[in-house]
Amino acid sequence: MTQSVLPIAPEVEVIEKTFAALKSRAPQQRALSAKERIARLDALYNEVWKRRDDLKTAMWNEFRKPGEEVDLTEIFVVKSEIKAVKRGLRKWMRPKRLPGGLAQVGGASWVRPEAKGVALIISPWNYPMQLVLRPLIAAIAAGCTAMVKPSELTGETAQLVAEIVSAVFNSDEVAVVQGGVETATNLLKLPFNHIYFTGSPAVGKIVMKAASQHPCSVTLELGGKSPVIVDDLKSMRDVAKKVAWAKLSNAGQICVAPDYVLVPADREADFVAAIKGAMVEMYPGEASANKDYQRIVATHHAERISKLVDDAIARGAKCVMGGDVDVKGCYVAPTVLTNIDPNAEILEEEIFGPVLPIIPYTSFDEAVRFVNDRPTPLALYVFSKRKRFVESVLSQIQSGGASINNCVIHVSSNHLPFGGLGNSGIGSGHGEYGFTEFTHLRGVYEQRFDGAGALLMPPYAPWKTKLVDRLLRWL
């Protein structure tokens, strides 16, 4: 089923007309069976698979993303998410019987999962397909209609996403609206039933404010400075390899990328040597000439990262690896910084690039304070062989999610909730948790035969007063 793709930055009247069609369709969409919803998701993946080579070309053109990483971090993720939905959707959709209390004697209680209605999905550029389609899969599974706005910074991929969606869905089921800030502003004025936003905390606040005007529920997948805390390990080699992979993958443009590493002061030199070795091993030779090493998505982002590095060095930081930046070429070399001033901007702002600050600590409490003095991170990474150390970190530092002895991997799970806390987000996605975000859990009570409720209604004769007193003492 091929529908026409909306023009880029459509007029307000076009957006409003599209929204009206989605709203009109919402009751029918809510009534779709699990089989019908799954059929739509299968068709979506089939279309993604058909456009696999086109997607690889688009992402290479936009920020030199290797085809292998398009397969692993975009297409595989979409396939895995659909597989998880197909496995669990019938169970998730079923009404769930619940026990009642004394007041509900003679009745039955249950929860009906029902689609919220029309959803708005606003997605970022760093994973320009999967971060569009993963929440869309959840919305379709829940029975919602949806309007999707991909990032304008990856316009070639956004156009492909629009073509894929238009080939699978009627325009009153899912509509892709492309455009920049003005388009997003126009979308946020509409009375959606749910907004799923992935992006920065600053823009997340704007989205939340707009949602409050209707009001509607929100899922905010934001970011923050995700720390790595390393225990005093015998060898730093394994830690360094995992941290290097997580930091340099996608050129560090991952919302859960390690933002800085806290390492015991007397092991700092060991870790620095190990991380430099791991980065070189992963991207040998000149990184700028390595076909596996990606670029920053836009010149203004490369310039922002360059300024963070320059500010840190001006304050006394040592650049022990990398530091090269070609703003026009959107290239930032794998970079490691030590001796960083606590007031450096790079320790305040999310880096979102391939720059890794190393922070030595002399006591466990010092490391905990360093993290807790900053907003709650989206992810927390702990490397230790000691269960007590790990438990102490998890119990004393809050985060959206966490990985022990690895980085980033927890995000790939369809069984774990993925979401932030406080400044790093609201709500969760992935698997059943994504389905729940787009679902209203409707509580239903049915009186099947009269209980003793009438005995507790006015007028309150003395014997009723005694009955109420005895109930309170008995319960």
Active site residue 221: yes
Catalytic residue among 62, 81, 173, 221: 221
**Per-residue tokens: 170:** 């009627």
**What does the DSSP assignment read for 50-106?**
HTHHHHHHHHHHHH---HHHHIIIIIHHHHHHHHHHHHHHHHHHS-EEE---GGGTT
Could you tell me which of 423, 418, 420, 370 has the C-alpha nearest to residue 397? 370
Instruction: State the amino acid at position 303 in one-letter form.
Output: E
Dihedral-angle region of residue 18 (phi above 0 means left; psi in -120 to 50 means alpha; beta otherwise): alpha
Catalytic residue among 255, 350, 407, 437: 255
Instruction: State the amino acid at position 266 in one-letter form.
Output: D
Biggest CA-to-CA distance, the chain? 91
Instruction: State the amino acid at position 464 in one-letter form.
Output: K
Q: Return contacts of 23-30, CB within 8 angstroms, 24+ apart.
A: 23/117, 23/118, 23/145, 24/172, 25/145, 25/170, 25/172, 25/173, 26/115, 26/117, 26/118, 26/144, 26/145, 26/193, 29/115, 29/143, 29/144, 29/145, 29/173, 30/114, 30/115, 30/117, 30/143, 30/144
Could you tell me which of 406, 382, 359 has the C-alpha nearest to residue 262? 359
Could you tell me which of 109, 108, 105 has the C-alpha nearest to residue 450? 105
**Per-residue tokens: 186:** 């126009």
Other beta carbons within 10 angstroms of residue 43's beta carbon come to: 14
The tokens 């990856």 sit on which residue?
A: 154
Q: 298 with 280: CB under 8 angstroms?
A: no
In degrees, rounded to 5, the angle at the alpha carbon of residue 77 between the alpha carbons of residues 383 and 351 is 50
By DSSP bridging, strand 96-98 and strand 107-115 are: antiparallel
Could you tell me which of 225, 244, 229, 223 has the C-alpha nearest to residue 391? 229
Q: Which residues are catalytic?
A: 221, 255
